[in-house]
């Protein structure tokens, strides 16, 4: 099966045809590092990490680039407040980013380029745009001239006339068109700056992604992703710069955008102040619960946040984790020579695992429908549970094989692809709990014996025997061991 994905540029689902066979190149816009990341920032991290994991599961080699905007007005302002050097402030929050993203099971990108380390590449691109006549200099600033790029508006689906009508009245009169945007900003006193032929300054926001994607992924890479809010102006501007620089069709082929996280149906954002940091959420919830909550909704749909939804996710995820734990426990029982009960159950479980894999892939191949993929995990869990409900004494080799197969399918799909079971399903037995429980059982049996209740004492011994534990009466008291 091939992967089909919704392309914002063409406004339809398309079959993924990669630039190079067996290899996918992805560029995902990263954070501006002036604060701890919030739940709205976490969504694209989890969504695109899952896309990447699924591509790898399908056998692709994935080149995954995510930038850090480590120089920007917000960073400069925050640094002034904290009396820190802007780049040091950015470095501090880059470190915090790795911690939060890592907690959420988001793996590091192949490359995490920083703007401050790519100034020569950025200057080279701006220079190229000026030479091609699509950018102009005014008092040390350089602007991109939207009128000189005929495709401007094709990503967001808006015409230049519509955009101009919506532009603010107070526009900078030095610009040729109100929609022209800065590629290079002249330095203001006290701000970090770099030398250029236009004088000291720093890059505008959008140019970094054009320059860094070109450096690390080259021309015509496969997938460009980010949140819906990046379509305009950020991605529209990236597209204009890159194609004006290198020619039509030389930028990303597929554009993927995830929906917002809303709070009471209002977008969660730092500027609105209605956000929760990942750190705050993780103080209350297991990161796997947060991941489950995000992936239970299709990535393009909005996701409305409230605590009750995280509580529901917690309960749902527990059902999956319980099945994994129970399967581990059943598999630890001593194998039987022959299966008790209905032999057709073994074949049914193997067929259920196979069907789960197929249905899971079908859901993910259809524009990464994780909501449906999660539902498939619950179907498989139900089949595993009903199989285990038949197991009283243990499993024969065929039964073990079927259960191991089904459990591994659940782990591959749920953990390897969706990243939901980090650290689960492999829990070591807690020896101190086992010791405590055995002391309790033995003391109950001793009391029964003291009361000459031989039936209860024998029943305890026999039942322990059934789960592989023997009791030994010694002069020092009763000891227990595994058979």
Could you tell me which of 437, 410, 406, 222 has the C-alpha nearest to residue 321? Answer: 410
Cα–Cα distances in Å, from 321 out to 186, 317, 427?
55, 6, 11
Cα–Cα distances in Å, from 483 out to 366, 388, 469, 470, 478?
51, 23, 6, 6, 15
Q: Which is nearer to Zn ion, 34 or 421 (CB)?
A: 34
Tell which positions 410-469 bind Zn ion, by CB under 5 A.
Answer: none
Q: Considering only the stretches 45-53, 72-80, 205-213, 262-270, report the one whose residues sit in contact with Zn ion under the rule CB under 5 A.
A: 205-213
Least distance to Zn ion from the beta carbon of 37, Å? 16
Least distance to Zn ion from the beta carbon of 238, Å? 6
Q: Which is nearer to Zn ion, 222 or 361 (CB)?
A: 222
Residue 273 structure tokens: 């102040």
Tell which positions 14-33 bind Zn ion, by CB under 5 A.
Answer: 29
Least distance to Zn ion from the beta carbon of 26, Å? 12
Q: Which is nearer to Zn ion, 68 or 285 (CB)?
A: 68
Q: Which is nearer to Zn ion, 256 or 346 (CB)?
A: 256
Q: Which is nearer to Zn ion, 67 or 381 (CB)?
A: 67
Q: Tokens 């100034």, residue?
A: 119
Tell which positions 206-245 bind Zn ion, by CB under 5 A.
Answer: 209
Q: Which is nearer to Zn ion, 214 or 420 (CB)?
A: 214
Least distance to Zn ion from the beta carbon of 326, Å? 45
Least distance to Zn ion from the beta carbon of 234, Å? 6
Q: Are 38 and 235 in contact (CB under 8 A)?
A: no
Least distance to Zn ion from the beta carbon of 423, Å? 33
Least distance to Zn ion from the beta carbon of 165, Å? 26
Residue 27 structure tokens: 């560029």
Residue 309 structure tokens: 């939804």
Least distance to Zn ion from the beta carbon of 29, Å? 3
Q: Does 155 bind Zn ion (CB under 5 A)?
A: no
Tell which positions 119-138 bind Zn ion, by CB under 5 A.
Answer: none
Q: Which is nearer to Zn ion, 35 or 241 (CB)?
A: 241
- Count of all residues that appear for the chain in the document: 483
Euclidean distance between the first and final Cα of the chain, in Å?
Answer: 49
Size of the site for Zn ion (CB under 5 A): 2
Tell which positions 376-415 bind Zn ion, by CB under 5 A.
Answer: none
Burial 197-220 (b: 16+ CB within 10 A, else e): ebeebbbbbbbbbbbbbbbbbeee
Q: How many helices (H) and strands (E) does the chain have?
A: 15, 15
* Residue nearest to Zn ion according to CB distances in the complex: 209
Collect all residues with Cβ–Cβ distance below 8 Å to 99 and sequence separation of at least 6.
none
Rounded to whole angstroms, the Cα distance separating 412 from 119 reads: 42
Q: Which is nearer to Zn ion, 3 or 209 (CB)?
A: 209
Contacts with Zn ion by CB under 5 A lie at 29, 209
């Amino acid at each position: 099966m091939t992967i089909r994905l919704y392309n914002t540029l063409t406004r339809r689902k398309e079959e993924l045809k990669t630039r190079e066979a067996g290899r996918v190149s992805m560029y995902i816009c990263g954070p501006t590092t002036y604060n701890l990341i919030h739940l709205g920032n976490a969504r694209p991290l989890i969504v695109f990490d899952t896309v990447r994991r699924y591509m790898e599961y399908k056998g692709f080699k994935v080149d995954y680039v995510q930038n850090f905007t480590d120089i920007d007005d917000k960073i400069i302002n925050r640094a002034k407040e904290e009396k820190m050097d802007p780049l040091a402030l950015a470095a501090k929050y880059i470190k915090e980013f790795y911690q939060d993203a890592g907690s959420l099971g988001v793996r590091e990108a192949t490359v995490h380029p920083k703007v401050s380390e790519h100034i020569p590449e950025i200057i080279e691109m701006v220079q190229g745009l000026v030479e091609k006549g699509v950018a102009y200099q005014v008092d040390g600033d350089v602007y991109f001239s939207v009128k000189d790029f005929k495709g401007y508006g094709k990503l967001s689906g808006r015409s230049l006339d519509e955009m101009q009508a919506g532009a603010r009245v107070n526009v900078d009169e030095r610009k040729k068109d109100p929609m022209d945007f800065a590629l290079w900003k002249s330095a203001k006193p006290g701000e970090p700056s770099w030398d250029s032929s236009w004088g000291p300054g720093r890059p505008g926001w959008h140019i970094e992604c054009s320059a860094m994607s070109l450096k690390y992924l080259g021309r015509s890479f496969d997938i460009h992703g980010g949140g819906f809010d990046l379509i305009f102006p950020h991605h529209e501007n990236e597209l204009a710069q890159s194609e004006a620089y290198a020619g039509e069709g030389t930028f990303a082929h597929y554009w993927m955008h995830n929906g917002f996280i809303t709070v009471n149906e209002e977008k969660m954002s730092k500027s609105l102040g209605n956000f929760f940091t990942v750190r705050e959420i993780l103080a209350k919830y297991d990161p796997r619960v947060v991941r489950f909550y995000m992936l239970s909704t299709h990535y393009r749909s909005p996701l409305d946040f409230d605590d009750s939804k995280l509580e529901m996710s917690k309960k749902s995820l527990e059902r999956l984790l319980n099945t994994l734990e129970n399967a581990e426990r059943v598999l630890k029982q001593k194998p039987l020579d022959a299966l008790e009960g209905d032999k057709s159950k073994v074949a049914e479980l193997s067929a259920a695992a196979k069907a789960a894999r197929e249905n899971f892939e079908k859901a993910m191949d259809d524009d990464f429908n994780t909501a449906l993929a999660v539902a498939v995990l619950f179907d498989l869990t139900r089949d595993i549970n009903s199989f285990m409900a038949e197991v009283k004494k243990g499993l024969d080799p065929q039964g073990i094989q079927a259960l191991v197969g089904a459990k591994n399918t659940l782990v591959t799909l749920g953990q390897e692809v969706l990243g939901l079971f980090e650290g689960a399903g492999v829990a070591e037995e807690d020896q101190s709990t086992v010791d405590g429980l055995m002391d309790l059982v033995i003391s109950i049996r001793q009391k029964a014996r003291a009361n000459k209740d031989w039936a209860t004492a024998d029943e305890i011994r026999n039942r322990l025997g059934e789960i592989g534990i023997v009791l030994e009466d010694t002069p020092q008291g009763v000891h227990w061991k595994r058979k």
